[in-house]
Chain A
Amino acid sequence: MKSYRCLICGYVYEEALGDPDSGVAPGTRWEDIPDDWTCPQCGVAKSDFEFLD
C-alpha cells in the first residue's frame, strides 16, 4: 500500500490507514479518494500532495 505526503504541512496519507474521520475507509487507494477531499491537517487539496513510497 502506498503513502502520499502533503507538500504544505507534511501530513502523510497512508492507503492502509485511510482517513476515517473524513469518510475515507482504510485501504482506500489514492486514486479512489474523492476530488473534494482535503488534507485533514491543513485543508489543502489532493493536488498539493506528492507520492512518497
Chain B
Amino acid sequence: MPGIVIVGSGLAGYNLVRELRRLDAKVPITMLCAGSGDSYSKPMLSGAMSHGQTPDDLVLASMESQAKFLGIKIHAKTSVDELLPETNQLVCSRRLKIEYSSLVLATGASPLQPPLLGSATKLVSSVNTLEDFRRWYAAVSVLPSETPVVILGSGHIAVEFACELVAMGKQPHIVGPDAWPLQSILPDQVGKELHTGLENSGIEFHLGQTALRMDLLPSAPSEGSGLRYAVTLSDGSVLQAGAVLAAIGMEPNVELAEQAGIATRKGVLVNRSLQTSLRDVYALGDVAEIDGLYLPYVTPLIAEAKVLASVLLGQPAELQMNRPLVHVKCPLHPVVACPPLRPVKGEWEFEIDSRGAAAFLRSDSGVLEAFALTRERVQDRFALLASMHPVWN
C-alpha cells in the first residue's frame, strides 16, 4: 500500500501531516521537499529581525525530529521532476521514484521576479523561505543605521518589511506602480490614510513608479556607508540603497500540476474537498484555488488541512469557514482588511476620525461583504466579521 505522498514541507504540508496523524497513527505518509525539511512558519519571516530573532530561532523542528515525531518518511533536498498520473508515480531527483495512493501538492507559491535591467539584477533579494531569510538577515544586519533599503512593491509583504526596517533603524523606500499601499485589499480613502500614516512614521514612498534598473555602485560613496546599489525609477530618479527587496507578488508553484495535465488557473484548481481534476491528486495551501477562490493565508490553510485529512482517510468532508481576515504586521499604523471575495454590487462607505479609518462595502441587499480598518478601529474587526456570511453560503 503506497500511502499518502505530500510534496512540500511548509505550513500546508506539515499541518496536513499533523491532522492526518490525529486521525490515523499508522497510514504511511511520505513527504518530499526541495529544501531541508526543517519546519518553520513563513509568516514569521517578516518581523523576526525586529524581535531580535535569528534564522536559527525560526526553526520550529528539524526535519529529522519531524520525521521521527510524526512517524513519516521525509525525502529532503529532493525535487519532483515529473508526475505520472497513469501509474501513480512521481519521478524525483537522484533517480528516486515514488508511488502514491493519494498525492497532495503543497508546493506553495514563489515570489515574482521584477523585470530589471542593469549590472546588479541578480542581487535583488526576496524573502519567501527560511533560506532566503538567512541571506536577508545577513545582508541587513551589516547595514549602518539609516541606510536606505529599496523595496519593490507596495502590498502586504512590502509594507511588513518596510515597518520592520524602520524598527531596525534603516530607511525603507517603497517603490511601486499603485496609487496607495495595499491597493489590492484597501479602498482609496483607507489606503491614502495608511499612506500618510506610514510616511509620517518614516517610510518613504515612490508610488506610481516602477524600478527599471538596478546597478552596482562603482564604489561606496563614502567609507562605511553601506550603499551598494543604484535603482533607477521610471521617472528617471535614482535611489541608492544598501539592499533591494522584491515584494511584487507571488505566483503559485503549479508547474508539476501543469505538466501532468491537471487543471490550473492562477493556482491548482480544487473543489471544496481539495481534490484536483485528477482523482488521486489533491492540493492545499498557497498553491491551491479552492472553488475558484485564492486564499493564501494561514487560517484557511488550517481549515483545509483538517478537511483534506478527513477526505484522504476515507471520510468525505467539505471546506467551510469564516471570511479570512488579512492581518498586516504594521505596528507603525495598524491595518486589517476583509477584502471582497467575489465582485460586489455596492459602494464603499467611509468613516475617518481620530480612532482611524474604516471602510464598509455592503451589497445592494445591505449585507456586509467587505471592510477595512486602521489604527484603533482594528478592534472592531471580530464584531464585523461575526455579521458576515461564511465563505460559502
Partners in one complex: yes
Please state if A42 and B299 are interface contacts (CB–CB under 8 Å).
Answer: yes
Instruction: Count residues of A near B (Cβ-Cβ below 8 Å).
Output: 11
CB-CB contacts of B93-114 with A at 8 A, as 1s and 0s? 0000000000000000000000
The answer to the question of A21 belonging to the interface, with a C-beta cut-off of 8 Å to chain B, is: yes
Supplied contacts A8-B41, A43-B302, 15 more A-B pairs, CB within 8 Å:
A7-B41, A7-B44, A7-B60, A8-B43, A9-B41, A9-B43, A9-B44, A9-B298, A10-B51, A21-B382, A21-B383, A22-B382, A42-B298, A42-B327, A43-B298
Please state if B303 and A43 are interface contacts (CB–CB under 8 Å).
Answer: yes
Q: Top 8 A-B pairs ranked by shortest CB distance?
A: A43-B299, A21-B382, A42-B298, A8-B41, A43-B302, A9-B43, A41-B327, A42-B299
Complex-state Cα separation, A49 to B327, whole angstroms: 18
A50 — nearest CB in chain B belongs to which residue?
A: B60
Q: 8 Å CB contacts to A: which residues of B1-26?
A: 11
CB-CB contacts of A3-18 with B at 8 A, as 1s and 0s? 0000111100000000
Complex-state Cα separation, A42 to B43, whole angstroms: 10
5 A-B residue pairs with CB within 8 Å:
A7-B44, A9-B43, A42-B43, A43-B298, A43-B302
Q: 8 Å CB contacts to B: which residues of A21-53?
A: 21-22, 40-44
Which of B47, B60, B302, B383 touches A42 (beta carbons < 8 Å)?
Answer: B302
* Interfacial chain B residues near A9, Cβ < 8 Å: 41, 43-44, 298, 327
Instruction: Count residues of B near A (Cβ-Cβ below 8 Å).
Output: 16
The answer to the question of B329 belonging to the interface, with a C-beta cut-off of 8 Å to chain A, is: yes
* Interfacial chain B residues near A40, Cβ < 8 Å: 382
* Interfacial chain A residues near B327, Cβ < 8 Å: 9, 41-42
Which residue numbers of A lie inside 8 Å of B, CB to CB?
7-10, 21-22, 40-44
Please state if A44 and B43 are interface contacts (CB–CB under 8 Å).
Answer: no
* Interfacial chain A residues near B299, Cβ < 8 Å: 42-43
Complex-state Cα separation, A43 to B299, whole angstroms: 5
Given known contacts A21-B382, A40-B382, is B43 in contact with A10 (CB within 8 Å)?
Answer: yes
A43 — nearest CB in chain B belongs to which residue?
A: B299
* Interfacial chain B residues near A42, Cβ < 8 Å: 43, 297-299, 302, 327
CB-CB contacts of B32-54 with A at 8 A, as 1s and 0s? 00000000010110010001000
Q: 8 Å CB contacts to A: which residues of B261-319?
A: 297-299, 302-303
Given known contacts A42-B43, A43-B303, is B298 in contact with A8 (CB within 8 Å)?
Answer: yes
